[in-house]
Each structure stands twice: as structure tokens, then as C-alpha cells.
Structure 1
């Protein structure tokens, strides 16, 4: 058996044996970065896994985790894997009803919660969850407030590790790993549920091993790669860079103090690789745009001059830069761009990624001009993560690159992208109908319409989202929406066009950037609604949409729009935990406002 034939838990054991003293993880606690070696990582995972068994978890049992990213998350995941159990992640931002659905549907027997807030969600739903044997809590603050009968069904994370250490049953792990094969299910990752109830994608160890070589090759990663983990670990995008790649490659992961300290943590870690979903890049773009507007005239002119000088270099490989272009970028870098890279913490990034949702091309181009090597990648939960991406020296902004190593692809009827390879998942848990629709003759039907552009794949839209106007014109709403979201003042844009005589839109302002714009003009407002309803804000958004319309075909231009007076909210069912818009829910909620657009 070669190393590449090992499952993820088997590979963790091998990593501890060969690289035991190297740092695997750094966890920030109270401002201090604490290193954890591969040997210690493996030891804690073994103890936790044996502790789970001591609590009654059977082989093949399901362990749930609901927490922000931290070392205990991956210790729980690897511990479960070392004793032959399956890990299921739950979004920490989910309300009680969604938590109850996933925990119940996934048949979770032991639930690992971060703190009292997450524990309360589970306790509220406990009558509906008869399979739960035990709740394991990472942070003990507030546990004493529970009644004795409630406290009996709770154990602390430390107690479970101590239970495992005292069991003396190391042989149990060796036996479990000896039986473990690449075809065993290691993870269940629930889809975001943008069109219905979330579905549990069963991910095998073969899927995990199958996706890693393509990621490593396309992103040019190595043992010296460093990564800041902050996106939810119940999402496949963060799993692939926090769990899959580091264990197989031996690279380092950093866990900050909180999702709220990402900007500060980025500056301290200065990682060589960074993953940001489009909303992260859009927020950074908006923050820089506002800073530039607020600065003095000389600095603003200096930035504009540097940006325009380097704009032609956004998509040109550095190996092809002329001497003049190199000098122009060097001058811009030392006078302007270096400080901006430090501001966002990405001066040492050798590769930066965006994926999981469409991103405005202008945002990608903006960061590439600044010297941040941002590339767009594409993947699904069902493909165990990234399956296409730009090569670092061949970027076509607006596309998602070409398939990675081991990925076979074809374009089916209606332009749908279909994939095949070891990374294609096993199917949906307890949902054979959905599995049969998605997996046909070994091909994964992605539901995404693509076309080839400049030798690379461009995602046109979701097959089910393509709209036909009353005049019979086919529209791709994501193209229109992304064009508008390129504005720093527009956070969300939801297109209405199906069966309509022209394109309408629901628009949500970016409260932070529009608020700063309003303050600079001494416009009084007290909250989101008062800001959104101000006539001058309406004029601002009108101008931004007119700018966007100028870049679209006439049939795709937004003729009328309604400004939302509240932010779209996960708890209201308007967006998913990953902030994907639930179109059907929004169309229902804002039916009266939509009809008013066409009155």
C-alpha cells in the first residue's frame, strides 16, 4: 500500500509517524498563537475517538459538529474517523429548526457543540431527536446553569478526551483503521438548501483522495503552504483546504480567535494561500474603494494613476511582462499596492481563490491589478470540492478555468456541465430519487450551464434559474446580478424576469458603504430602512444601475427596481447559511413589491 492509497485517518497516523514534530496547526487563544504538532494532533484525535466509543458510539455511527472553526472541530472529525465513524457538520449560524432537521435526518448519535448557545439549540429540539446519546460541549461557560437532569446528558470536550486516554484501548483504533477502506463514507456534507430542504451528500475517503491531487497541482501547493481557516467547516470548500489537503500534503493550518477577527488574523498570519467566497472579496473591494474616496486628492490621484497603469496586466502572465510593464508595476507596488496588500493581509499570498458562488469580474480584475494572485475556481459539494480553476499563469477573468487532474468533463444537453472521476460523491443520504437524478451512468449532472470562452469554462447560470421573458428572450439572471453587485454600494440584486415584459430587480444596499457615503454628504439616517428610503440614496443606486446597464445587452437591462428596506436574513428563510439567495422564498415574501414594478 502506497501513501496515496491511505484514507484520511490512516494518513493522519502516517503523518504523525513521519512528521511528528512539525507544526500541523496553530490556534490563536487570547492573542497568542499556540502551535500543535502532527504527533499531538493525532494523539488528541485518538483520545477523542476512543472517548466517543466509550460514550457508546458504534462503528459507522454518526457524529455531528456545530461550531466555528477551531482545533476541536478537526480533532472531533479525525477522532470520529479513527474509530470508523462518520462526521456531519452543522452551520453554527443555523436557527434551531434547521439544526433539528439536519441532526434528525443525518441520524446523529453524539453531537459536539461549541458553547452554551449551540447547546441550547440542540436542547430545544431534543424531544424530536431520540437517537441523540450525548452532547459534548467545547466551552464549559454557562453549563452550571442547567438542571441536573439536563447536565447528565452533557459531557465536556476535555472529559471525552480524558475518557479516551483512560480507556487504554489503542488497539481498537488499529483494528478500525485496518478495516477502513477508501470506499467507506467519511463525511456527510449537507447542501445549503437554496431550493428546498438540505440534502446530505455522502463523501467517501476515495472522493477525498481523488480531489486532492487536482487541488495541489492547480494551486501549486507544497508542505510550506500556510492557510487561515475561517469559512464554515461544514462546507466542502473549507474542508478541502483545512482537512483534506493539509493531512495528505503536510501543510499548516491556522485557526484564528473568531470569524469576527479574520481581518486582524490575516495580517498576523500573512498566509501563502487564502480562500474567500465572493462576498468576502466584495467587502474588501468596497472597503478599499471607500478608503480611496475618503483620502486626500493627491493620494486618490496616485491610486487612480497606478491602477490605470497596471490594468492591462490583470490577465497577462508575469512571464510575458515587458521590461516597461515590470517597471510600471514595481513603481505602483512600492507607492500604493504594497500598503493595500498589507491592509488586507495578503502580501505573502502566492495564490488566492474565490469560489462557491458567482463573483463580479471587475472585483477579480481589481485585486489582480493590486498584485493579489486571485483566481476563480469551481466545485460542488457533490464533487468533493474544487474541480476546475485557472492556472496561475493563465487567467481569463469571468471564467472558472479548466478541469483539474483526474476530472473528466462533458457538456450535455442544454449546455449542462457533467463530471466524472474519483471525486464524484456516493449519493444523497436517504434520498435515492435525488441521487438518481444527479448521478446518471457514472456522470455527475451539476445543474450548471457552461460554455467555452477563450479556451476555458464559463459558468452561465444554474439550469433551473435561466429565465424566459414575455417576449421569449432567454436571460441568465446571475450575469445581470453580478454586473450590478460590482458596485460597492449594492450588496444584493435579485432579478425578476420570468414571463415579464422587461427586467425588474429587488436591490439591497450595502449598509456600511452607503452609510459612509451618506455621512460624507451629511445625510441624516438612523437605521437601515431610513437610509434605504432616502431620495438621495435612491438616486445613488439609480446611477449605479445605469452604469451596470451600459455594460449589458438591451434585453438584459434593469428597467425598474425596488430598494429593500431590510437586509436579507437567514432566520427569515431569505438566504441560506452560506448566504445564497433563496429566490422562491424572496419572490413570495416580496410579491406585492414585485407586482408594483410592473403595474
Structure 2
């Protein structure tokens, strides 16, 4: 199959723009709890009406300060409730949202503010406001200052001030703006008007400004909500800890808001596990690394108790049970394996139930996106009783393009096109996309030249469709390696297999123009430190200025097993002969994107000496 489509489930008729999602929800269920907000040391409920009132009040502040329809407003902050208020308030004021990752460097902030023509900016902290204020100072046209979400931030109006004020100050300045003025601004934008400009993270080149329309958001929100009504509804709740600067998190927030699903925000992902027991979500959205760490932590805890062999059996049983569940989904014959049922019941009491409790005890489904999910990891969580729905999408597709559905999960696949979307596979194997969520073009028209073909967006990813229209990803078009022997190698399968080892954060296969393949294995600092401590091994410590080689024999021996396992899955010509183990600063945004995707070209440039040594 070279093309797969899914018809839309929702009509956009009757919706003016994205703000109608909140307005309709407010009319239908004003007293329903829409958010749980961490205030005064506890989680406080915020109803839909209360949220909408805060949104309108801030929108009045924007208008009072001089924001015009169509003006870009930048938001740079960690994931928090105020992000949601600022996001919707920008639209209520008739403006356009420009999200900036809170970890962005000054040069990145300057470039985005200048390219988007930002007029007003919102920072989460004084430090963010200072970066934004400095960027606005270089603007060609008059700007309206940078404001901070932190209510207790000191400020002044003199030259060089870190912030022009707080959100509370903005709200106070808008008290004289009439409700009718806000309503006129809110309804000004049509479905085809720009809603947001999102700058890509630039894993394979310079960042590009993706212009997403109100139609893109409405189409995705309404259709995805219809497709996943079993999961996203007013009886459920979720915790958002992915960056709200990422379109996936913002899309999820809108879907939940429109569907009545309660939302809590966490700005520090490291606190997620400790908070789940309090918030008890029914649904979570994660990147695969989170699932890998949950599994690794369980294995470590079992090892500490001398139960490593028992855990290995529990792991095997969970995977087998997950595979059994997928056979049931596919309506295939299920072997009568009484022993498997007994083992699953035993390990459920010993391990699985405790893992579900760690996740809050109520999680019915987990959505995984942002990177490839190891099929065995998906089966493992399915065997625990928490199915993982893997999806796939890009900024240019307004988040999800494809997704597995409840009751139709196939590990290893990222699912079928979501309602209103079409996927086509080109002759070169590239995944092409068209439909309601696909953008019309970049802010800079020059970036559109190679972005579309025959009305389809070129994703740059390689993939295939099975006979049921499900998409299987097979790597990046630009990551393909051609050796000196003329062999074309797609490294994704080998790399993802090695990355299943908890100690490996990223695996990078190299070998362009070389006689054989090699690899760099970038360590996960946290997991590696824990492993080294348990093994009684001293590894290099201190800050990491650049990519540093680690030559510990025991560590190499441990990782050799992961390399051997990956080599066993690929053809001889695709196997890695040599590898180097390295440490890098994974918080360096010049090296790793905010969504934890590695910038391969930057890695290869910085590790050029190490790579050359692999071919001596």
C-alpha cells in the first residue's frame, strides 16, 4: 500500500477560530473543574468559568498595552498553568502566539523574536523576561516589553529593566477595556488566519517558522477528541509535563480543555513520579525515555532485593501477555496457555500492581510520541495493564499525523492516519502528509521550495504502510548512510535497539564513505552513575564542556552486549564493528533539542576526532 486515508469524524462548521473551543465549553460546563493548580503548597481546582475569566482579563491587559490584531506575542516559560492562560489570552486579544522553549539560548531567542516580529513577550521567570527584553531591544519597530508570570518579581520602568511588569500588572492595566472589545478581538480571526508560529528545533538544519492556522488546530482537536473519546473525556484527568512550547503539549491541552478532561501542569519532569500518587491521572503523554526509566527503575529495585532473575521472568511474562493482548485485538487465535495466565497472575501481585501504583493507580492508557518506541517496551507495558498508544507527527502537522487506537494497538507501528489526514509513501520511501492538520507553509517562503510535492508535505522520514494502512517508520531520509562499498544503510533499527539499554541515551551510527560502520554511544548520566555506583566503578565526574570519551573496560563490556544484540537483528553489512562510549552535556541546546532529539550533525562535528579514531 502506498497511500492510506481516514475520513474526518468532526465538522468545523460553526467554529470561528480556536477560542470557540473554550467559549463552548464554558457555556456547557462552567463549574466543571478544568485545571488543578499548584498553589500555596497544595493542588487547587480551577473551573472552566474561572479559567475563562482569567483569560479575558489578561486579554484586556494585552489590548490596553497596545496589542493589535495579528500581533505576535512570545511566551517563554516552563510548563505551568499561567502558560495556558497566556496562550488563550493571546488568541482572545486577536494576536498570534510565538512559543519559545524555556531552555533556548540567547542567540535562539534573539533569532525567533526578530524573525517573528514579536511585539510583546511573556517570560516565566525574571531570567526569561531578561532574555526576552534584550531581544526586544533590538527590534526594528516599537515593542511593548517583556512581562513575567512570577507575581512577586520586582520591576521598574527604567532603562535596562529585567521586566516591564507581571501578568498581574497587565491584568490591572486592562480593567477599563470593555467586554465588547475583547469579544470583537476574539472573533476577528477566521479559521484560515495564523494562530501560532512555532519554530522547529533544527535537528537537520536551521530552525524554520511553522505557521499553523486556527483551522489546523480546530481540525486536529475536534477529530482527535472524537477518535479518542474513550480516553479523553470529562471523567478523566491528565498531567502535562512536556514543554508547552511543543505543539504536541499545546494540542493535548486544547483537546482536554474542549473535552472537559482535568489538567495539571508540572514544570519539573523529575517530580512527575512523586506527584502521580497525588494527582492520580487516567491518561499520560510521555516520550519513550520516560517509559524506559520506569522499567529500568523497577529492574534496579528488584536487583537491590536480590530478585534480578525473578524480575527477568516477570519481564518475559509481561511481554508475552502484551503479545497475547495484541492477538486478541487482531482477532487472531489465542493459544490456550494456562501457565502464562498463572505466571501473569503471580507477577501481577509481586510486581505489576506496584508499578501501576507508582503511576497513580488509575492510568488507563499512555500516549508515547516524540521518538521511536521499542516494540518490546510497548508490549511490556501492555502486559502490566497499561497499554501504550504510539503516535507520530511533526510541528508541520500540528502534532499527531498517525496513531494507534484503543483496541487496535500494534507494537512497532505508529498507527493509521488520524481522522481527516492522509499518508502517502513516495517512490523513495519518504512519508508524505496531507489533510486538516497539515500546515500551508513556513513563515519564510524560501523554506517551502522543497517542503511539498503534489500537494503533500514532505516529512523527511522514511516509512512503509502495511495492508491495513498502518505506518511503520524506518528512519530519517537525511540520516541514511552510504558506505564506501556503496551499501545504503538506514541506522534507525540498530540505534533504537542499542538505546533500549538504560545506560544509553543516544546511539549514533557513523560510516558515511567509510569501509565499515561504527558508532558513538552517548551515556545517560543519571542511569550510568547509578550503574557505576552499584558496580563499584569510578567514572569521570565534574562538568562536561564537550563530548568526552569514557574508556572504562567494565562499562564497555556491559555495552558490548547491547551492541551485539543490535548487530544480531540486522544484515552483516549493517552491523557495527567498532564503537566509542562518550559523555556529553545533554542539557546543551546546541546539541540536543528541547524534545531530546539529538542534532546528529553537531554531534559528528564535535566528536570528529573520536570518530576518526574509530577508523585508525
- TM-score tier by shorter-chain length is over 0.9
SS state of the match for residue 167, structure 1?
A: coil
Give 1:236 shift. 1.1
- Correspondent of 2:555 among 534, 537, 541: 537
Give 1:340 shift. 1.4
How far apart in 2 are the matches of 1:397 and 1:292? Answer: 26
TM-score between the two structures when normalised by the length of structure 1 = 0.93
SS state of the match for residue 159, structure 2?
A: helix
How far apart in 2 are the matches of 1:301 and 1:565? Answer: 30
How far apart in 1 are the matches of 2:211 and 2:381? Answer: 36
- Correspondent of 1:115 among 118, 125, 144: 125
Which position in structure 1 is the counterpart of 2:8? none
- Correspondent of 1:461 among 475, 481, 502: 475
1:222 aligns with 2:237: no
How far apart in 1 are the matches of 2:516 and 2:540? Answer: 34
How far apart in 2 are the matches of 1:31 and 1:326? Answer: 44
In the TM superposition, 1:382-421 aligns within 5 A as 382-421=396-435
Question: Against the structure 1 CA distance between its residues 50 and 3, is the aligned structure 2 distance closer, same or farther, given a 3 Å change threshold?
Answer: farther
CA contact (8 A) 2:520 2:579 kept: yes
Which position in structure 2 is the counterpart of 1:508? 522
Stretch moving more, 520-529 or 578-587: 520-529
1:579 aligns with 2:587: no
1:69 aligns with 2:87: no
1:36 aligns with 2:49: no
SS state of the match for residue 428, structure 2?
A: helix
Please give the per-residue CA displacement for 1:216-274, whole angstroms capped at 9, x wherever unaligned.
Answer: 244332222311111111111111111x2023222211123633422222222121111
CA contact (8 A) 2:38 2:44 kept: yes
Which position in structure 2 is the counterpart of 1:442? 455
1:589 aligns with 2:606: yes
Give 1:147 shift. 8.0
Give 1:323 shift. 8.7
Question: Against the structure 1 CA distance between its residues 4 and 264, is the aligned structure 2 distance closer, same or farther, given a 3 Å change threshold?
Answer: farther
Which position in structure 2 is the counterpart of 1:304? 312
Which position in structure 2 is the counterpart of 1:352? 366
Give 1:283 shift. 2.3
CA contact (8 A) 2:429 2:463 kept: yes
Stretch moving more, 372-381 or 150-159: 150-159
Which position in structure 1 is the counterpart of 2:109? 99
SS state of the match for residue 518, structure 2?
A: strand
SS state of the match for residue 5, structure 1?
A: coil
How far apart in 1 are the matches of 2:512 and 2:539? Answer: 35
Stretch moving more, 39-48 or 324-333: 324-333
1:53 aligns with 2:66: no
SS state of the match for residue 484, structure 2?
A: coil
Stretch moving more, 18-27 or 256-265: 256-265
Give 1:418 shift. 1.5
- Correspondent of 1:231 among 237, 242, 248: 242
How far apart in 2 are the matches of 1:151 and 1:582? Answer: 35
CA contact (8 A) 1:143 1:151 kept: no
Give 1:471 shift. 1.6
1:181 aligns with 2:183: no
How far apart in 1 are the matches of 2:318 and 2:288? Answer: 23
- Correspondent of 1:84 among 94, 102, 107: 94
Which position in structure 2 is the counterpart of 1:138? 149
How far apart in 2 are the matches of 1:524 and 1:65? Answer: 42
Count of residue correspondences = 591
Which position in structure 1 is the counterpart of 2:202? 193
SS state of the match for residue 314, structure 2?
A: helix
Structure 1: segments with no counterpart, 5+ residues: none
SS state of the match for residue 160, structure 2?
A: helix
Please give the per-residue CA displacement for 1:313-345, whole angstroms capped at 9, x wherever unaligned.
Answer: 2232466666946555344322320101222x1
Structure 2: segments with no counterpart, 5+ residues: 1-10
Please give the per-residue CA displacement for 1:154-181, whole angstroms capped at 9, x wherever unaligned.
Answer: 02111111222x1141111222234332
SS state of the match for residue 102, structure 2?
A: coil
Stretch moving more, 86-95 or 433-442: 433-442
How far apart in 2 are the matches of 1:177 and 1:123? Answer: 27
In the TM superposition, 1:355-370 aligns within 5 A as 355-370=369-384
Please give the per-residue CA displacement for 1:57-79, whole angstroms capped at 9, x wherever unaligned.
Answer: 11111110001111111111111
Which position in structure 1 is the counterpart of 2:347? 332
- Correspondent of 1:432 among 440, 445, 450: 445
SS state of the match for residue 512, structure 1?
A: helix
Question: Against the structure 1 CA distance between its residues 549 and 218, is the aligned structure 2 distance closer, same or farther, given a 3 Å change threshold?
Answer: farther
CA contact (8 A) 1:275 1:354 kept: yes
Give 1:2 shift. 7.7
SS state of the match for residue 414, structure 1?
A: coil
How far apart in 2 are the matches of 1:150 and 1:95? Answer: 19
How far apart in 1 are the matches of 2:419 and 2:236? Answer: 20
Which position in structure 2 is the counterpart of 1:9? 19
Give 1:23 shift. 0.6
SS state of the match for residue 143, structure 1?
A: coil
How far apart in 2 are the matches of 1:567 and 1:451? Answer: 35
Task: Determine which structure has the larger helix proportion and give its number.
Answer: 1
Stretch moving more, 265-274 or 202-211: 265-274
CA contact (8 A) 2:391 2:403 kept: yes
Give 1:123 shift. 3.7
Question: Against the structure 1 CA distance between its residues 235 and 153, is the aligned structure 2 distance closer, same or farther, given a 3 Å change threshold?
Answer: closer
SS state of the match for residue 70, structure 2?
A: coil
TM-score between the two structures when normalised by the length of structure 2 = 0.90
SS state of the match for residue 35, structure 1?
A: strand
Give 1:364 shift. 2.2
Question: Against the structure 1 CA distance between its residues 561 and 569, is the aligned structure 2 distance closer, same or farther, given a 3 Å change threshold?
Answer: farther
Give 1:30 shift. 4.4
In the TM superposition, 1:141-180 aligns within 5 A as 141=152, 143-144=154-155, 148-151=158-161, 154-164=164-174, 166-180=175-189
CA contact (8 A) 2:72 2:119 kept: yes
Question: Against the structure 1 CA distance between its residues 257 and 513, is the aligned structure 2 distance closer, same or farther, given a 3 Å change threshold?
Answer: closer
CA contact (8 A) 1:403 1:409 kept: yes
Give 1:84 shift. 0.9
SS state of the match for residue 314, structure 1?
A: helix
Please give the per-residue CA displacement for 1:373-409, whole angstroms capped at 9, x wherever unaligned.
Answer: 1121001111111121112222222111111111122
Structure with higher RCO (Cα < 8 A, 6+ apart): 2
